[in-house]
Structure 1
Amino acid sequence: MTTNLEVILRWHDPFLTWDPALYNYTYVLRVPHHKIWEPDIILYNSAARDYSSSIISTNAIIDSSGEVKLLLQAIFVSTCWINIAWYPFDQQICDLMFGSRTSDVMQIRITKGDAQISRYEHNHEFVLENFYADMGEIMDPCCDSPFALVSYHVQLQRRYKFPVFFFIMPGILINICAVLVFSLPAESGEKVGLGINSLLAMMVFLMAMINNLPPAESIPLAGMYYGVCLAVITTNIALSVGVMNLSHGGERGYKLPWALKIMTKAMSRWLRVSVHPIVQRHWQRQEEQEQDGVLFESPTVFERSERAWRSLKVRPKTPENADNNPWVPVKRGEGLPEASPIPSAEERDVFVEEWKLASRVMDRFLFILFSVITVLFNSIMLTSSPYGIDMNACNEDEGSCHVD
């Protein structure tokens, strides 16, 4: 952290006292600071390469009673533990720890001064929430006695509008596009394409956000947000592939399984999915047959062709013509089962429409499910920070923050 501040040092030196009456009633002197003794108060957590060059010392102001005041204008570069776990709604507390490097508590007694921000300038990235000081002690291996330490704490709250507008808002819009994958009909062929484009867009914004963050052990809130978004979009793509396969099941000649048909009937009414008239008539006939105690479902074209092929291929030998080969070819037309009627065009259409209806029902269900998940997920993630978005800045009009 780089801080531009003014350091005011005050101390009493009994060797710098005089009687003003003996010196033409001179009560105050201003002398170069290096001409007198001064305490070696330094910034303990400094990160500057050249510490002395960042400090501008003025003349020391000496009172006749021995009170000395030294004004320092400095640009301190200090270490600060950055916690980005709640980025972009994070709060940072950076410390400026001052103390003597060679004089312990038995030699110099340090007291904290007033912490003022009368000349504080606003920062475009952070808001100053609090600025306070406290006293402490620190041990050093060189000495047996501890060293007095005064710490000034700078409490900052990140301005959230920029990262929310440029990083979080695009993620919300991409999530909406990803959910709209389930509103596209399977016949369009764009379901997977829209999901992959959403995934790539999310990766672009994730990389842009990472470039603005310092390396840290913990994953920030925004990083977790994008990670979960990527997992949700990947799940959307996988389920979209399954829905597309479900839609084309009838074209392959397969019959809709009984359990899937029951579920499709129930969910189509619950989800208000329109049913093709030909499927409605087919279901109505089946219901009438169930009421009469008769239920017949004609085999599919695939099942009929499979039965015919097996009957034409081989048949077991009888004891009359037994030999080493237990199977003999069947002559064309010999031993065939009764021919099943070829399914009509309406029956084929029923198979196709039932599978398409199952895919539409699944699309509607997934659309509602992932819409609810997206709304809840975004609401929880954006409100989970303990610091919130209500930033209470220091009252700059009064010129000071709370000082403990």
Structure 2
Amino acid sequence: ATSSLPAPVRLQRRGCLFAYKLLHDLFANYSSALRPVEDTDRALNVTLQITLSQIIDMDERNQVLTSYLWVRQAWLDAHLTWDKDAYDGIDSIRIPSSYVWRPDIILYNNADDHFGGSMETNVVLRSDGHIMWDSPAITKSSCKVDVSYFPFDGQRCRLTFGSWTYNGNQIDLRNRLDTGDLTDFVENVEWEVLGMPATRNVITYGCCSEPYPDVTYTLLLRRRASFYIFNLLLPCIMVSFLAPLGFYLPADSGEKVSLGVTVLLALTVFQLLVAESMPPSESVPLIGKYYIATMTMITASTALTIFIMNVHHCGPGARPVPPWARRLILHHMARLCCVYEVGESCKSPPREPGGRAARGDAGGPGENPGQGEVCTEAGGCPRDHCLCYHDGLLRNVGYIAGCFRRHRAAQRRTSEWKKVAKVMDRFFMWVFFLMVFLMSVLVLGKAA
């Protein structure tokens, strides 16, 4: 009946018959539970190769790396060999991996809740007994995350593979290549892979006296910081430069303290955003240090603003400005910060308080009651009938002149204290601008 079929179909059916016969002959007396070696005293060589396909997620807070790997294991099964000429030239077959013995190679630093292994894929069995098992796996591995330089940080995540029950005298695990395969890696938007070197280690654990070999792949990662620069760092720098402008606001506006508090609350929100994604460790991220330093500076500027506003609103009963403050603040610091009275400029020298103009302002009608004596006899006014010599009128004029002098002196004291506050505002504004600039340069320089 088969002679009536076309030649290709007959060859295909003949090949299937030989494949079924080969599968039956190989596994007639085979057990997948025992290590496939002819001499039980010799170790079975197993080679391991890891291909990194994708970085799915890096959970910094829980310190877990989720990656998609292709795991290739190869070993020699001495019980699964055949003469390919006896089976119509069949050199290799692909069978389910559950049919053959497999090394129990697992990820030592697995952090998965379900502890899932590799996918149950087929193995390639060759006529000389060599078996190659390629299986994809999504692994969750523990990774010690160092966020000291976040968001300009780099991480070293280790993937350690080894046998769980077989020691080095039973399975000799070796890495096929000195590095992981990155040819099929899908680029990650957050992390850049710099390399994946592989090392073989032989460790003797405290539970057992036998050595246990393992292969450790070190995944070298560097964070792409553009997202964090534009969403966390630059807004913080711009908000920080708003804080010194609180000193430039007029004291009578009533918004000086509210600006500092608003800036402090904005930085607190940014600080909470960073803290939510970072692990609760002792190492503070670089951007966190910048936030803390900026918040400390803004707190100090708000406290100084309150003090300066208290100086500005000194009432008429305030004491005069001390001589050292008049000399240091009203003369030197005012000239340094270009703070002058109305009508003056940076080029014209400031008018000294207490000078001629001030003294002239203190005068007024009736300042010197003796001037009433000028009411002369040249006008023909008899001495006994001149109003200037009436005692009541002289007392009233003297009282009015004294009130005027006291009012002018109080105005001078108030204006001097206001100028002191204005000079201190300008001085601290430039000091805090310089501090913000230096902190920004230090942070970026340290990150570089």
Using the TM superposition, name which of 248-257 and 263-272 deviates more: 248-257
User: What are the equivalent positions in structure 2 for 1:17-166 lying under 5 Å apart?
Assistant: 17-52=81-116, 54-114=117-177, 115-166=180-231
- Normalization by structure 1: what TM-score? 0.77
Tell me the CA shift for residue 262 of structure 1. 1.0
Alignment partner, residue 195 of structure 1 = 260
- Equivalents in 2 of 1:269, 1:380: separation in Å? 31
Using the TM superposition, name which of 3-12 and 200-209 deviates more: 200-209
Alignment partner, residue 351 of structure 2 = 280
Q: Is the 8 A contact 2:316 2:411 kept in 1?
A: no
Alignment counterpart, residue 356 of structure 1, candidates 415, 418, 422? 418
- Equivalents in 1 of 2:200, 2:194: separation in Å? 20
- Equivalents in 2 of 1:266, 1:99: separation in Å? 75
> Amino acid of the residue matched to residue 192 of structure 2?
V
Tell me the CA shift for residue 281 of structure 1. 5.2
Q: Is the 8 A contact 2:193 2:222 kept in 1?
A: yes
Q: Unaligned stretches of 5+ in structure 1?
A: 290-297, 299-338, 389-404
Alignment partner, residue 310 of structure 2 = 245
Q: Is the 8 A contact 2:247 2:256 kept in 1?
A: yes
Runs of 4+ aligned residues of structure 1 deviating over 6 Å after TM superposition are none
Tell me the CA shift for residue 135 of structure 1. 1.4
Tell me the CA shift for residue 162 of structure 1. 1.5
- Equivalents in 1 of 2:159, 2:354: separation in Å? 78
> Amino acid of the residue matched to residue 419 of structure 2?
L
Q: Is the 8 A contact 2:81 2:129 kept in 1?
A: yes
**3-state SS, counterpart of residue 176 of structure 1:** helix
Alignment partner, residue 270 of structure 1 = 336
**3-state SS, counterpart of residue 258 of structure 2:** helix
> Amino acid of the residue matched to residue 210 of structure 1?
A
- Equivalents in 1 of 2:324, 2:253: separation in Å? 27
Q: Is the 8 A contact 2:317 2:410 kept in 1?
A: no
Tell me the CA shift for residue 149 of structure 1. 0.9
- Equivalents in 2 of 1:139, 1:252: separation in Å? 85
Tell me the CA shift for residue 252 of structure 1. 3.2
User: What are the equivalent positions in structure 2 for 1:209-220 lying under 5 Å apart?
Assistant: 209-220=274-285
User: What are the equivalent positions in structure 2 for 1:219-238 lying under 5 Å apart?
Assistant: 219-238=284-303
**3-state SS, counterpart of residue 383 of structure 1:** helix
> Amino acid of the residue matched to residue 219 of structure 1?
V
Using the TM superposition, name which of 29-38 and 365-374 deviates more: 29-38
Alignment partner, residue 168 of structure 1 = 233
Tell me the CA shift for residue 102 of structure 1. 1.6
- Equivalents in 1 of 2:153, 2:290: separation in Å? 15
Structure with the greater alpha carbon radius of gyration: 2
Percent identity over the alignment?
A: 32
**3-state SS, counterpart of residue 273 of structure 1:** coil
- Equivalents in 2 of 1:60, 1:130: separation in Å? 29
- Normalization by structure 2: what TM-score? 0.70
Work out the number of aligned pairs and report it: 336
Alignment RMSD:
2.4
Alignment partner, residue 399 of structure 1 = none
- Equivalents in 2 of 1:48, 1:199: separation in Å? 40
Tell me the CA shift for residue 380 of structure 1. 0.8
Alignment counterpart, residue 12 of structure 1, candidates 32, 51, 76? 76
Pairing 1:370–2:436 present: no
Tell me the CA shift for residue 45 of structure 1. 0.7
- Equivalents in 2 of 1:380, 1:359: separation in Å? 31
**3-state SS, counterpart of residue 119 of structure 2:** strand
Offset from partner CA, 1:231-258 (integer Å, 9 cap, x none): 1111010000111111122533320011
> Amino acid of the residue matched to residue 272 of structure 1?
C
Tell me the CA shift for residue 276 of structure 1. 5.3
Tell me the CA shift for residue 99 of structure 1. 0.7
Greater relative CO, 1 or 2 (CA 8 Å, sep 6+): 1
**3-state SS, counterpart of residue 280 of structure 1:** coil
**3-state SS, counterpart of residue 92 of structure 1:** strand
Offset from partner CA, 1:253-306 (integer Å, 9 cap, x none): 32001111111111111222113579825344499x9xxxxxxxx9xxxxxxxx
